[in-house]
Amino acid sequence: MAFISTIDNDTVAAMPAALFAGRIVVVDTEECVEAACADLARYDVIGFDTETRPSFRAGVSYKVALLQLSTPDVCYLFRLNRIRLDNRILKILGSRRILKVGADVTGDIRSLHALRDFKADGFVDLQREAVRWGIEEKSLRKLSAIVLGKRISKAQRLSNWEAGTLTLQQREYAATDAWVCPCILEQMQRVAQPEGELTIISVAGAEEVESAKRTRHRRASQRHRSHVMKREN
């Protein structure tokens, strides 16, 4: 087997830290969006992640505050609590040519749909793909440890992502989480090539999903009524 299937927390803690060493660009004005998206569009594979302000009160939740999209050398941090989910950003998120690699991407996409309806395409989920290499772990922290032999710090996960200014530690944490995802996928592919191909995830817009649900429910109800009528006859 190319990789171990599981790993314990003590082993992970003893590993050297993974840290994005490239340039981190905070995109918090509309004027910065164009240059960021133009650069991202030059790549076939980028890293993807989001961050949301944590809630410590029952019944209180927040919308996505940060979207991270990373090339090998530059990570763009889109502060969605300050700028809108621009069409230029959605073009990147909806491009099947540009693979966006992350972990639990459907959860992140669902959170982004709370900001704006759009169609997502071209996503690869490490949690799904790792199974093909015999890896049972799902967390990005443990996937990095198993595949790269490096740990990812989660110290900033519960920090305030809507703060006036993101700290250096927050920026490095956010950038590393996005950047490391394509690194993990690349290393898995380098070590072994399991049968089958990558699963490319496409998620219809929230309105399309609700419409599809209503259609399925209506058809199911029609089939049920038809079945009942046949039995009565």
**pLDDT tens digits, one per residue of 68-85:** 999 999 999 999 999 999
pLDDT(216) > 70: no
Q: What pTM value is reported for the model?
A: 0.86
Domain residue ranges of the chain, discontinuous segments joined by +: 9-205
Query: Distance (Å, rounded) from C-alpha 122 to C-alpha 101?
Result: 9
pLDDT tens string 135-190: 999 999 999 999 999 999 988 888 999 999 999 999 999 999 999 999 999 999 99
**Domain 9-205 = CATH 3.30.420.10:** yes
Average pLDDT for 105-112: 97
Of the candidates 36, 28, 67, 62, the one whose C-alpha atom is nearest the C-alpha of residue 51 is 67
In angstroms and rounded to an integer, the radius of gyration of the C-alpha atoms of the chain is 20
Instruction: Band the pLDDT of 56: cuts 50, 70, 90.
Output: confident
Residue 4 burial (10 A CB sphere; 0-12, 13-18, 19+): middle
Angle between helices 168-191 and 140-148 (to 10 degrees): 50
Q: Say what the pLDDT of residue 224 is.
A: 46
Instruction: Specify whether the CB–CB gap between 128 and 143 falls below 8 A.
Output: no
Query: What is the rounded average pLDDT of the residues 197-202?
Result: 95
Query: How does residue 16 score in pLDDT terms, banded at 50, 70 and 90?
Result: very high
Nearest 5°: CA angle at 195, between 6 and 92? 85
Q: Facing residues of 77 across strands?
A: 26, 68
Average predicted confidence (pLDDT) for the chain: 90
pLDDT on residue 157: 86
Per-residue pLDDT, 61: 87
Hey, is 154 helix, strand or coil?
A: coil
The pLDDT, as a whole number, for residue 209 is 43
Give SS3 for 26: strand
